């Protein structure tokens, strides 16, 4: 089997997800049995962007498996502040660690890192693009507490343009049968074109709507997200959209008695505090599931050992025009292209390429 990273949930087959989930269940029920599984292994955490849950859950996951963790959570304290390239940082850290967990503000950064790393790279969020391990937490919660993911009607609400957890979740849910998606967002925060093209290509059932209340009664899962302030180029656009969706106890009255409310957290104001005590509010449980799901993932990826990397072509001019794409910042990256929904896309950030 070829060397595996986790960059995009599309990298996993449904069978691989099921293996991770089954292991995760066993870890949840018999955590102590796993305390030496990654004994002697070292995880390098490169957090170029703020994080609470993802960073702590990856740290505690590795510690619970008997391994150790080093890294930074402020790039100002690393050589990046001196102008070091992502390539060089990854080359170095992959010599020290057995697995790299990276969060970076640039879209496609994890894919770029995987080209140079001798050890598996796990994408802990690349700009507004993808966040596959949050999706592990999301799916684990639905599978464990609902019993099945097939057939679920899910409302995904909030900033669907910039919310990376949303893009990964849609990619993952495409692997299941008869999922119905209600995509609830103001028009200017609708899903990016590449996600829509993917959904069309996969023949997924989806409705893009602007109102939360009319669709609430139809949902089995409501996935709330915050408006991603830090991704807005125009501060007025943030002001226009902040506070646009707020889930309250009153709105929940119209929901199914067993609907699950999920949220990747952090919450700003999109779920009122009085919802927290409703049995349908599963977001803190979801964060807990995330640690166990990451344990199951680490067991799988971190134990692959080191590999020798292939030489990588040196790029000269980025093909991709997305200003947030990693190829715009790290200009030596080779131009990589892939097909999505019939059109050519940047293989780092998925943006459609203009010819």
Under the rule (CB under 6 A), what is the footprint of ligand NCD? 53-54, 125, 131, 134, 164-165, 225-226, 228, 264-266
CB of 124 to ligand NCD, least distance (A): 8
Alpha carbons 210 and 218: distance in angstroms, whole number: 15
Instruction: Classify 261 as helix, strand or coil.
Output: strand
CB of 33 to ligand NCD, least distance (A): 27
Residues 334, 314: contact at Cβ < 8 Å? Answer: yes
CB of 331 to ligand NCD, least distance (A): 26
- List the one residue out of 177, 226, 217, 53 whose CA is nearest residue 125: 53
Residue (57 or 322) nearer to ligand NCD, CB: 57
Residue (98 or 138) nearer to ligand NCD, CB: 138
Tokens, residue 2: 């070829």
Residue (87 or 144) nearer to ligand NCD, CB: 144
- List the one residue out of 295, 303, 212, 292 whose CA is nearest residue 251: 212
Strand positions, DSSP E, the chain: 42-47, 68-72, 99-104, 121-126, 153-157, 180-184, 205-209, 221-224, 260-262, 337-340, 343-346
Residue (44 or 125) nearer to ligand NCD, CB: 125
Backbone angles phi, psi at 121, to 5 degrees: -110, 130
CB of 99 to ligand NCD, least distance (A): 18
Residue (58 or 176) nearer to ligand NCD, CB: 58
CB of 131 to ligand NCD, least distance (A): 5
């Amino acid at each position: 089997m070829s060397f595996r990273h986790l960059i995009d949930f599309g990298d996993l087959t449904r069978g691989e997800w099921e293996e991770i989930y089954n292991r995760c269940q066993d870890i949840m029920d018999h955590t102590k049995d796993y305390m030496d599984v990654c004994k002697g292994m070292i995880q390098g955490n490169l957090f170029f962007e703020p994080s609470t849950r993802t960073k702590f859950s990856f740290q505690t996951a590795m510690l619970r498996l008997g391994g150790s963790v080093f890294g930074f959570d402020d790039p100002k304290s690393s050589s990046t502040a001196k102008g070091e390239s992502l390539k060089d940082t990854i080359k170095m850290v992959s010599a020290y660690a057995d697995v790299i967990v990276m969060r970076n503000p640039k879209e496609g950064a994890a894919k770029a890192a995987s080209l140079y790393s001798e050890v598996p790279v796990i994408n802990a969020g690349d700009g507004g693009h993808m966040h596959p391990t949050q999706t592990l937490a999301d799916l684990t919660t639905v599978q464990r507490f609902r019993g099945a993911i097939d057939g679920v009607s899910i409302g995904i609400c909030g900033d669907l343009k910039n919310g990376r957890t949303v893009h990964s979740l849609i990619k993952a849910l495409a692997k299941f049968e008869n999922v119905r998606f209600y995509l609830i967002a103001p028009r200017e925060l609708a899903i990016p074109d590449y996600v829509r093209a993917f959904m069309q290509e996969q023949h997924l059932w989806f409705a893009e709507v602007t109102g939360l209340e009319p669709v609430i009664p139809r949902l089995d899962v409501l996935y709330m997200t915050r408006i991603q302030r830090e991704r807005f180029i125009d501060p007025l656009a943030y002001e226009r959209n902040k506070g646009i969706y707020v889930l309250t106890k009153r709105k929940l009255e119209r929901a199914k008695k067993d609907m699950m409310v999920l949220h990747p957290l952090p919450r700003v104001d999109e779920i009122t505090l009085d919802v927290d005590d409703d049995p349908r509010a599963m977001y803190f449980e979801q964060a807990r599931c995330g640690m166990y799901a990451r344990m199951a993932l680490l067991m799988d990826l971190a134990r692959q050992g080191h590999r020798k990397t292939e030489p990588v072509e040196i790029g000269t001019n980025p093909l991709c025009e997305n200003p947030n794409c990693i190829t715009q910042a790290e200009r030596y990256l080779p131009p990589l292209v892939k097909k999505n929904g019939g059109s050519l896309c940047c293989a780092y950030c998925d943006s459609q390429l203009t010819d």
